[in-house]
């Protein structure tokens, strides 16, 4: 009986020791093995790993990308307007050993990265007017890229063991006490710009209308000149053809012209006194 008790106790102790010796590394995490408070091993590949029970302890660090929100802060723009800025940072641990030496915890990393982001955003926005930040043609995309590069360079120089992937400004807004005055000034500026556009449009319209009228007059004058030239050439050609045709029989032409004159002379049935022996009368009388 005593033998069975010893065997059972031994088995339980073995199970406890085995359970305390095994740990699992999952996808998307680093497992850090500590011995007396010092990191002695870092496991990044998924699987079952071993440690010394009761002596070594295990802690996890995220291997995947993390998103950290920077607390809303007030920044002064180049034109001395205070604005509220809210942004976020995408980052990840890429060197767990350097991370443990310099930062040790995720909260410490988020604090350091947040400070670097705030300094970079404050410096960049202080070089830009508020109207440029909120306009439709804003260069905020370039601003985000510049801030990302600056913060990434800082954390690399500091040897934090993290990689800053992206920094994005989510929102820029005025403090409540400044909104109305700025909005009124923006409305006035937009109205002034609109009036300038309308004035330029009217001036351009007058230029286009004047140019179109001038071209139309030139086209009409040219068309009238071409028309007169064509008519003159046609009349000249008709006279030539008539002369050529009538020249072949002068007597017939004379008779034809006399008959044409009768049509004109006797319109309206007038009373005309003509000598009986005149050639004009003889032709009329058929002599």
What mean pLDDT do residues 186-202 have?
A: 84
Going by C-beta distance under 8 Å and a sequence separation of 6 or more, which residues neighbour residue 186? 131
Residue 214 maps to a domain: no
Q: What is the DSSP letter of 267?
A: T
Percent of the chain clearing pLDDT 90 (strictly above): 21
Residue 151 maps to a domain: yes
CATH code for the domain in which residue 70 is found: 3.30.479.30
Same domain, 14 and 48: yes
**130-139, 180-189, 215-224, 270-279: range with lowest mean pLDDT:** 130-139
Query: For residue 74, how far is the Cα from the chain centroid?
Result: 28
**76-90, 178-192, 266-280: range with lowest mean pLDDT:** 266-280
Percent of the chain clearing pLDDT 70 (strictly above): 74
Residue 232 maps to a domain: no
Six-digit token string for 19:
């359970």
Residue pLDDT, tens place only, 107-121 = 999 999 999 999 998
Residue pLDDT, tens place only, 22-50 = 778 888 899 888 888 788 888 888 888 77
Residue 166 maps to a domain: yes
Same domain, 9 and 87: no
Reply yes or no on whether the pLDDT at 14 is more than 90.
no
Same domain, 161 and 119: yes
Burial 53-75 (b: 16+ CB within 10 A, else e): eeebeeeebebeebebebeeeeb
Question: Rounded to an integer, what distance in angstroms lies between the CA atom of residue 20 and that of residue 43?
Answer: 17
Number of compact structural domains in the chain: 3
Question: Rounded to an integer, what distance in angstroms lies between the CA atom of residue 54 and that of residue 35?
Answer: 10
Same domain, 140 and 162: yes
Domain that holds residue 266: 258-287
Same domain, 82 and 163: yes
Q: Which of 116, 124, 202, 190 is nearest to 158 (CA)?
A: 116
Residue 37 maps to a domain: yes
Question: Rounded to an integer, what distance in angstroms lies between the CA atom of residue 110 and that of residue 248?
Answer: 116
Residue pLDDT, tens place only, 145-176 = 889 999 999 999 999 999 999 999 887 776 66
Same domain, 274 and 287: yes
Residue 96 maps to a domain: yes
- SS3 labels along 1-16: CHHHHHHHHHHHHHHH
| pTM for the full predicted model | 0.55
Reply yes or no on whether the pLDDT at 198 is more than 50.
yes
Residue 91 maps to a domain: yes
């Amino acid at each position: 009986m005593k033998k069975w008790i010893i065997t059972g106790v031994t088995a339980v102790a073995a199970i406890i020791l085995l359970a305390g010796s095994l740990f699992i590394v999952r996808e998307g995490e680093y497992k850090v093995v500590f011995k007396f408070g010092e990191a002695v091993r870092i496991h990044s590949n998924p699987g079952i790993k071993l440690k010394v029970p009761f002596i070594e302890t295990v802690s996890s660090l995220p291997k995947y990308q993390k998103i950290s929100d920077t607390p809303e802060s007030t920044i002064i723009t180049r034109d001395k307007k205070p604005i509220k800025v809210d942004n976020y940072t995408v980052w990840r641990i890429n060197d767990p050993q350097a991370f443990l030496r310099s930062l040790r915890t995720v909260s410490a990393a988020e604090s350091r990265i947040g400070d670097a982001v705030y300094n970079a955003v404050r410096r960049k926005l202080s070089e830009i007017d508020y109207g440029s930040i909120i306009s439709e043609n804003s260069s905020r995309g370039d601003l985000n890229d510049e801030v990302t590069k600056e913060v990434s360079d800082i954390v690399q120089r500091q040897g934090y063991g993290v990689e800053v992937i992206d920094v994005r400004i989510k929102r820029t807004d005025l403090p409540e006490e400044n909104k109305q005055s700025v909005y009124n000034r923006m409305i006035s500026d937009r109205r002034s710009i609109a009036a300038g556009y309308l004035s330029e449009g009217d001036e351009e319209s007058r230029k286009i209308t004047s140019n179109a009228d001038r071209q139309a007059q030139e086209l009409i004058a040219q068309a009238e000149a071409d028309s007169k030239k064509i008519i003159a050439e046609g009349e000249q050609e008709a006279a030539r053809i008539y002369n050529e045709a009538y020249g072949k029989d002068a007597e017939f032409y004379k008779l034809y012209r006399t008959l044409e004159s009768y049509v004109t002379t006797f319109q309206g049935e007038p009373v005309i006194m003509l000598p009986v022996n005149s050639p004009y009368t003889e032709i009329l009388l058929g002599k």
